[in-house]
Amino acid sequence: MSDDLAPPTDVETFFRSDLRAGTITRVEAFPGARIPAWKVWVDLGPQLGVRTSSARITDLYGAEDLVGRQVVALVNVPPRRIGPFLSECLVTGFDTPEGVFLTSVERPVPNGTGPT
């Protein structure tokens, strides 16, 4: 077992994670963030609406690269205040030496769609 693995969990815990597809509709600089980040607004469909997220993805993505991009967000996390900004969901990605690569869907799906 590698030292960088998270502690073991069970499938029931995993299935409580609510992942949804959403489209980034707005991006703003977040100069007050301790670690460089963008403020993003993600449209998660008619049931969930638009939610905000502080996304540490500035190494690989400019604001102009993000608007209109469909991403995968974890939506059942409690809101978290990051300085003056309220982050209401977690945009997912993979951390690499080059930076964080966003998790996305293979083809466009309706905003708010979850996995099966």
CA dihedral over 63, 67, 74, 43, signed as positive or negative: positive
Average pLDDT taken over every residue of the chain = 94
116 — pLDDT class (breaks 50, 70, 90): confident
Instruction: State which amino acid sits at residue 26.
Output: R
Q: Three-state SS string across 6-56, please?
A: CCCCCHHHHHCCCEEEEEEEEEEECCCCCCCCEEEEEECHHHHCEEEEEEC
pLDDT in tens, 38-94: 999 999 999 999 999 999 999 999 999 999 999 999 999 999 999 999 999 999 999
**pLDDT for the residue numbered 1:** 37
2 — pLDDT class (breaks 50, 70, 90): very low
CA nearest neighbour of 52 among 20, 109, 15, 91: 91
Give yes or no for residue 30 having a pLDDT over 60: yes
